[in-house]
Amino acid sequence: MEKTDYNFEDHGFVILENVFEESTLKKMRDLTDRVVAYGEKNLEDPFSKYYMRHRTDQGALYDLFQRHPEFQDMAKNEKILNSIAKIVGDDIFLYENSLVYKPKGKNNEVPWHQDFINRPQEPLKYIAWIALDDVKVDNGAMKVIPGSHKHGFLPWFSIPGETHHTRLQLDGIPLDDFIFAELKAGDVLIFNQLLLHSSDRIVSEMPRRAYRISYQGFDQIFTPRSTPIVLKGGSPESIEKRYSNAYKAPETVKKEIAKPVKKNVLIRFLNKVGNRLQRL
């Protein structure tokens, strides 16, 4: 079977070839290395309190879209968005994004998993995995089991101390049916979050940098952090078609207003106690 013969319905993924040009990829690889070097310093910066921290074992750096505009261009790529639009419709927002770069000398294996396994109540997400390098078996090509998205959400568990991924109950799943999704730099693997996928521990000196973006349609809006960012469509008419109830302030806004007040009460109380103690 050719790389480009896979489809979402039967196999749970597609591969788009030559989506990004070498000049863009070169720029992004350079930025990636600088971002990783900075991430590894683990410094406190003004963004730290908003965005996910770095996971250094498997090498995952989150929220680059929000921090670095260069990644926004990648996430808004028309070929990727048009491909996902065929399944979720023309309104798409950014759910989550990260760089996955398999650091050398670390336990960089990614076990078989499905993405966002703990969020079965949310609409399905589709993940675009953009190869920034040529990705072969030796340097950690993604392994996927065609058609495995049809199993739906599998039972899962986590091992204490493992930070990045949950583990699946894999009894009865034909793991031997996997294929390696070998890609050229600039190719994109787009998969249903339920597709079983993994990658081996690698020792190769060849870098394996990939930028992954999770997208979702507008059926219901959930965002793991920050506010939803619309990447395609989202016209007033299209939104009105889906949502026609009168606006009521959401819970979160009320909480945000309530928080500082609570803090002030606590600070006032502590000041009072402090003053009393000073007077004793």
Ligand X SMILES: O=C(O)CCC(=O)C(=O)O
Binding site for Fe ion (CB under 5 A): 115
- Give 16's contacts (C-beta < 8 A, 6+ positions apart): 4, 79, 80, 83, 187, 188, 190
Least distance to ligand X, CB of residue 72, Å: 19
Q: Are strands 60-62 and 92-100 parallel, antiparallel or unpaired?
A: antiparallel
Task: Kindly report the backbone phi and psi dihedral angles of residue 166, in degrees, each rounded to the nearest multiple of 5, phi listed first.
Answer: -85, 160
Binding site partner of 91, from ligand X, Fe ion, none, Cβ cut-off 5-8 A by kind: none
Nearer to ligand X, 11 or 212 (CB): 212
CB of 214 to ligand X, least distance (A): 8
CB of 192 to Fe ion, least distance (A): 11
Cβ contact 129:210 at 8 Å: yes
**Which residues within the stretch 200-219 sit at the binding site for ligand X (CB under 6 A)?**
210, 212
Shortest Å, Cβ 15 to ligand X: 14
Q: Which does 96 bind (CB under 5 to 8 A by kind): Fe ion, ligand X, none?
A: none
- By beta-carbon proximity to Fe ion, the closer residue of 74 and 195 is 195
Q: How far apart are CA 120 and CA 136, in angstroms?
A: 32
100 binds ligand X (CB under 6 A): yes
Q: What is the rounded CA–CA span in Å between residue 160 and residue 157?
A: 10
Between 140 and 217, name the residue whose CB sits nearer to ligand X. 140
Q: Contact 114/154 with Cβ under 8 angstroms?
A: yes
Does 115 sit near ligand X (CB under 6 A)? yes
In order of 77, 153, 257, the CA distances from 223 in angstroms are: 21, 20, 20
| Binding positions for ligand X, 137-156, rule CB under 6 A | 140, 142
Q: Is 54 in the site for ligand X (CB under 6 A)?
A: no
110 scored as a contact of ligand X (CB under 6 A): yes
Question: Would you state the structure tokens that stand for residue 61, as one six-digit string?
Answer: 């750096």
Distance CA 85, CA 80 (A): 9
Q: Which is nearer to ligand X, 55 or 239 (CB)?
A: 55
Query: Interface with ligand X includes 129 (CB under 6 A)?
Result: yes
Q: Which of Fe ion, ligand X, none binds 199 (CB below 5-8 Å, type-dependent)? A: ligand X
d(CA 208, CA 248): 47
Separation CA 63–CA 49 (nearest Å): 12
DSSP letter, residue 151: G
Query: Which entry of Fe ion, ligand X, none binds 210, CB below 5 to 8 A by partner kind?
Result: ligand X
Does 188 participate in binding ligand X (rule CB under 6 A)? no
Distance CA 141, CA 187 (A): 12
Which of Fe ion, ligand X, none does 209 bind, CB closer than 5 to 8 A by kind? none
Closer to Fe ion at the Cβ: 63 or 115?
115
Rounded CA-CA distance 91/249 in Å is 23
User: Nearest-CA neighbor of 74 among 8, 126, 27, 144?
Assistant: 27
Contact between 183 and ligand X (CB under 6 A)? no
Binding site for ligand X (CB under 6 A): 100, 110, 115, 127, 129, 140, 142, 197, 199, 210, 212
